[in-house]
C-alpha cells in the first residue's frame, strides 16, 4: 500500500509538471518510481501503459482545437514507435544493475536539457514550409528510443527541436507531438509486454499513476495560468538531475565525503539557477508593465 501511495504521488507530481510545461510526465514519474525502488523496466512499462490513456485524450483534445498537423504526425510517429519498441526491448533485456545507471544517465542528461532550455531558452522566429521526412524520421526514431529506455523523453527531445526548427507554430508543435506520443506509448508498451510478459507490468501501479494524474489535472490547469513556465521548468529540470545523481555517483564509485560534496555542489548550482531565473523574471516585470502603460 505504501508503494502504491508513492506511485500515486508520482503520477500527481508528473501531471502537475506536464500540465504546466507541456512536457515532463514520463521524466518526472519515471524518476520518482525508480527513486521509490522500482526497476527501470518496470517503471518505464508502468509509465507508458498509463500514457496510452493520457496521450489518447490529449491528442483528441488538441485535434478539436486544431493544433495537430496529421501529415507531420504520420512522419514522426511511425519512426517514434519503432524507436520506442527497440528501446523497450533493450531495457528489458539487460540486468537491473546495468539498467539503473543507463536509465539514470539518460534522465540526468534530459534533466540538464530541460533545465538549460528554460534557463537560457529564447523565442524562435517561425519559418515558412513544413519539416520533411529526412528531418522528422531520425528525430522520431531517437525520441522514441530515448523515451522508452529513459522512461520519458519524447516531449523534451521532439518539442524543443521542432520549436527550434521554426517551421511549425508553437501550438501546432505541442499538439502534433502530443498526438504522436500515443503511437510511441503503445509501441513501448508492446515492447515491454513482449519482453517482460504480463508479470513485467504492474496494473496497480498504472492505476495509481492514473489516479494521481486525475487529481492533479485541475490543479495543473490552475498552475499553468499562475506560475511562470521558465521558473517551473528550471525547478523541475534541477529536481530530475538531483534525484538521478545518486545512482550515477554510486555507479562510478563515489562515496563518503566526496559523495556528500557532489550533492552539495548540485544543490548549490540548482539553487543558483532558480534564484537567477527568479531575479531575471522580477527585473523583466517592471519593464513589461511600463511598456503596457
pLDDT of residue 178: 85
> What is the per-residue DSSP string for 248-293?
HHHHTT--HHHHHHHHHHHHHHHHHHHHHHHHHHHHHHHHHHHHH-
Confidence at residue 124, expressed as pLDDT on a 0 to 100 scale: 55
How far apart are alpha carbons 204 and 60 in whole angstroms?
Answer: 26
129 band by pLDDT with thresholds 50, 70 and 90:
confident
CB atoms under 10 Å from CB of 112, counted, come to: 14
Identify the pLDDT of residue 4: 81
Residue 292: per-residue pLDDT:
45
What's the chain's average pLDDT?
Answer: 81
Checking if the pLDDT of 181 tops 80, the result is yes
State mean pLDDT over 8-33. 76
* Average pLDDT of span 274-284: 88
Mean pLDDT of 95-118: 78
pLDDT at 154 over 70: yes
The mean pLDDT value for 71-77 works out to 95
DSSP H/E element including 165:
helix 154-165
C-alpha cell at 208: 495509481
> What's the confidence (pLDDT) of residue 286?
56
Distance between CA atoms of 293 and 286, rounded to whole angstroms? 11
| Mean pLDDT (whole number) for 72-97 | 90
What local confidence, expressed as pLDDT, does residue 220 receive? 64
Per-residue pLDDT, averaged over 9-33, amounts to: 76
Listed in sequence order, the DSSP H helices in 22-69 are 25-35, 40-64
Query: Average pLDDT of 211-240?
Result: 73
| Residue 20 or residue 257, greater confidence | 257
Q: Which residue has the higher pLDDT, 107 or 124?
A: 107
Residue 275: the pLDDT is 94
The per-residue pLDDT for 217 is: 64
Supply the pTM of this predicted model.
0.71
Contact between 27 and 230 under an 8 Å Cβ cutoff? The reply is no
pLDDT at 272 over 50: yes
Residue 88 burial (CB count, 10 A): 30
Amino acid at each position: 500500500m505504501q508503494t502504491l501511495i508513492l506511485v500515486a504521488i508520482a503520477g500527481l507530481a508528473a501531471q502537475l509538471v506536464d500540465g504546466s510545461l507541456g512536457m515532463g510526465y514520463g521524466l518526472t514519474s519515471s524518476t520518482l518510481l525508480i527513486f521509490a525502488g522500482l526497476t527501470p523496466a518496470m517503471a518505464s512499462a508502468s509509465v507508458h501503459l498509463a500514457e496510452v490513456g493520457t496521450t489518447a485524450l490529449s491528442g483528441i483534445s488538441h485535434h478539436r482545437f486544431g493544433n495537430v498537423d496529421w501529415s507531420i504526425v504520420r512522419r514522426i510517429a511511425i519512426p517514434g514507435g519503432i524507436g520506442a519498441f527497440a528501446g523497450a526491448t533493450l531495457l528489458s533485456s539487460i540486468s537491473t544493475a546495468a539498467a539503473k545507471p543507463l536509465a539514470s544517465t539518460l534522465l540526468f542528461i534530459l534533466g540538464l536539457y530541460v533545465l538549460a532550455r528554460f534557463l537560457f531558452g529564447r523565442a524562435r522566429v517561425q519559418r515558412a514550409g513544413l519539416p520533411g521526412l529526412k528531418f522528422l524520421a531520425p528525430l522520431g526514431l531517437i525520441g522514441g528510443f530515448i523515451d522508452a529506455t529513459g522512461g520519458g523523453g519524447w516531449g523534451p527531445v521532439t518539442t524543443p527541436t521542432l520549436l527550434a526548427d521554426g517551421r511549425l507554430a508553437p501550438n501546432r508543435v505541442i499538439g502534433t507531438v502530443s498526438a504522436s506520443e500515443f503511437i510511441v506509448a503503445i509501441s513501448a508498451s508492446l515492447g515491454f509486454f513482449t519482453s517482460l510478459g504480463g508479470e513485467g507490468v504492474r496494473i496497480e501501479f498504472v492505476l495509481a499513476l492514473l489516479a494521481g494524474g486525475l487529481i492533479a489535472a485541475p490543479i495543473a490547469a490552475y498552475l499553468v495560468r499562475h506560475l511562470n513556465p521558465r521558473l517551473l521548468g528550471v525547478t523541475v529540470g534541477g529536481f530530475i538531475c538531483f534525484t538521478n545523481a545518486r545512482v550515477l555517483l554510486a555507479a562510478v564509485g563515489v562515496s563518503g565525503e566526496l559523495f556528500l560534496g557532489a550533492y552539495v555542489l548540485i544543490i548549490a548550482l540548482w539553487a543558483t539557477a532558480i534564484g537567477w531565473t527568479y531575479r531575471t523574471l522580477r527585473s523583466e516585470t517592471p519593464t513589461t508593465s511600463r511598456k503596457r502603460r
